[in-house]
Amino acid sequence: MVNKFVFIVILLAGILTGCNLTSSIAAPTVISTIAPTLGFVKPTPLQPISPAQLIIIMTATPHTAQQAVLDRAADVITLLKNQDMTTLAGYVHPQLGLRFSPYAFVRDTDNEIPPDGIAGLLTDPTVHPWGAYSGSGEPIDLTFVDYYSQFVYDLDFANAPEISLNHRLGVSTSMDNIFAFYRSSMFVEYYFPGFDPQFEGMDWRSLRLVFMQDNDTWYLVGIIHDQWTT
């Protein structure tokens, strides 16, 4: 009987001990998620730079230089209007001469005339190769006076409604390599946006005068005629 009682006491003690152990185990703590102080911000995409802004960035020059080029261009376009090639020769770069390009893409093979050859161009009867006509690919074989009437002063560019500095106004399928060919240059464009409404502006014409600096003087190095090409 005594043994049975002892067994019961031991059994009850074990049960109570187990209960105490169970109650002493703390329930798992739930850690709340802390929101990050700085949330992930999707990078703002860069805004595309317009061609005009890109050219200004690439050809950033002091205002005085820009004004000097605009002034020189105003003189040159007036001389071209008046066909005063003798005075024009004084504006041509003394070492590089003056290159004539019939379209926007300037080539090494475009005719380059030295300063001492400018004055007599309009009276020169020689037929020269000037490149190829856009579209047909036929050779442009003309005297200078004929080239002048088709690819230099075919319109009254001195009174063009739009003028730009270092920005191409007329755009077509023809590649423009003006800054690649004439490094460290500036150009002034004289632009007619179109004439006949039925062509929706595709009959535009431009003349670009390209200048490069030698010491403190900006000299004429290129005359580029441009129009819509296919």
Which tens digits make up the pLDDT trace of 176-219?
899 999 999 999 999 999 888 888 778 899 999 999 999 999 99
Which tens digits make up the pLDDT trace of 7-44?
444 444 444 444 443 444 344 333 333 333 333 233 33
Give the mean pLDDT of the chain: 80
Which tens digits make up the pLDDT trace of 77-98?
999 999 999 999 999 999 999 9
* CA-based nearest residue to 102, from 228, 230, 223: 223
pLDDT grade, residue 56 (50/70/90)? Answer: very low
- Note the pLDDT of residue 92: 99
Angle in degrees, CA 142, 146, 151, rounded to 5: 95
Which tens digits make up the pLDDT trace of 114-149?
999 999 999 999 999 999 998 889 999 999 999 999
* CA-based nearest residue to 227, from 200, 188, 192, 181: 192
- Note the pLDDT of residue 10: 44
Q: Which two tokens stand for residue 17?
A: 């001990």
Name the residue with higher pLDDT: 154 or 36.
Answer: 154
Q: pTM above 0.75?
A: no
- Note the pLDDT of residue 31: 31
- Note the pLDDT of residue 196: 85
Which domains are seen in the chain, by residue range? 53-227 (3.10.450)
Name the residue with higher pLDDT: 171 or 19.
Answer: 171
Cβ contact 182:34 at 8 Å: no
CB atoms within 10 A of CB 154: 13
CA–chain centroid gap for 21, Å, is 80
At a CB cut-off of 8 Å and minimum separation 6, what does 57 contact? 49
Please say whether the dihedral angle defined by the alpha carbons of residues 68, 117, 158 and 100, taken in this order, is positive or negative: negative
CA–chain centroid gap for 37, Å, is 42
How far is Cα 110 from Cα 197, in angstroms, rounded to an integer?
33
